[in-house]
Amino acid sequence: MSEQHKPVIGISIGDMNGIGPEVILKAVGGNRLNRICTPVIYGSGKIINRYRQMLELKDWQFFTIQKIDQINHKQVNVINCMNDQNLELQPGKVTPEAGKLAFESLKRAVADLKAGKLDALVTAPINKHNIQSDEFKFPGHTEYLASEFEVEDVLMFMVSDTLKIGVATGHVPIEQVKQKINKELIIKKIEQIHTSLKRDFGVQRPRIAVLGLNPHAGENGLLGNEEKEIIQPALTELKKKGTLVFGPFPADGFFGTAAWKQYNAVLAMYHDQGLMPFKMLAFENGVNFTAALPKVRTSPDHGTAYDIAGKNEADESSMIHAIYTAVDVAKNRAELSELEANSLKKKNIVLKEASMED
């Protein structure tokens, strides 16, 4: 693949005192990913260099730039997003400076993503408390990105090669889940999963399983009516449109019997119902993918892990898979766009020829 055709992948540094910088460097160290993409780390050359020394990656070099237009496609690039003099690295500590850098790096990366200068964005873990400011008042990355791209509703889609789980309600207190579940929401989330499987992952005829909200999927109304009154009617409506959707299934039996292996994706009703089994079954290679965004964004499926930050103990597997997934989805979308453009071009030619014959 020629240099100019390699996807340019932005990577926001996340909380510099967590394991984000460590897993980033372990993932891109030695320029191992330069064959398939051009990585651009948004953060701080000073902080990246400190971690490079701590991890003893002394033979690995990076290219420091001030803006995306200066990238070197043969190296890993680092964009300084703050004045390095104001940054003091304290692995394992929650500091205001770390929150400030996390936001500045995210803001710069999103601006370049919106401008079309990045093919995808990979976000390292943030601390949802120290990043809060007048500019960032969101529960997490997903909500911030939805706001920046002016998308009313996106999907938190946890993906791996073998298991993909979307959630109907994301970062929502458990007491509010029941209030937010409705037929329209279920239909929208299933349609988002269906579209993403086809557009982003190349699944031609997606089979989607849906979990119930209540224990035993409501036990025919004995343990709750949401399955009968909300979820099942939504599935019935989608089936009439030809969507291959199944359920609602009791979550415990569904995962306990490995029934999930029969489907391309699963819709869970709330955060922990979906993420708990996902992290048990796919933690090392799991990726958080934000579906229904106009641009590609992925993230490793772990947090800041302050307890092991700076100790050279963090596993970079999820970060590597997040980068690979970003590259694959960006390529799939580009290929689909090209196919659609060629199809439209051929259609216009046929219509033009037909009109000339008339």
Task: Say if CB 16 and CB 101 are below 8 A apart.
Answer: yes
Residue 351 domain boundaries:
1-151+293-358
Q: Could you read off the pLDDT of 116-145 as tens digits, one per residue?
A: 999 999 999 999 999 999 999 998 899 999
CATH number of the domain bearing residue 107: 3.40.718.10
- Specify the pLDDT at position 336: 81
pLDDT band at 346 (very low <50, low <70, confident <90, very high): low
Which of 263, 284, 305 terminates a domain? The answer is 284
Same domain, 21 and 144: yes
- Residue 248 preceded by cis peptide, ω within 30: yes
Same domain, 164 and 275: yes
- Collapsing DSSP states into helix, strand and coil, what is residue 180? helix
Q: Could you read off the pLDDT of 192-227 as tens digits, one per residue?
A: 999 999 999 999 999 999 999 999 987 787 888 899
Contacts for 100 with CB less than 8 Å, ≥ 6 apart? 82, 133
Q: Could you read off the pLDDT of 150-188 as tens digits, one per residue?
A: 998 899 999 999 999 999 998 889 999 999 999 999 999
Q: How many domains does the chain have?
A: 2
Same domain, 275 and 171: yes
Same domain, 33 and 97: yes
Which of 231, 249, 284 terminates a domain? The answer is 284
Same domain, 212 and 298: no
Buried b / exposed e over 91-106, threshold 16 CB at 10 Å, is beeebebbbbbbbbbb
Task: State pTM to two decimals.
Answer: 0.89
Same domain, 125 and 203: no
- The counts of H helices and E strands in the chain are 11, 12
Same domain, 140 and 213: no
Which of 232, 254, 284 terminates a domain? The answer is 284
CA dihedral 32, 37, 43, 48 (to 10 degrees): 10
- Collapsing DSSP states into helix, strand and coil, what is residue 324? helix
Task: Say if CB 43 and CB 101 are below 8 A apart.
Answer: yes
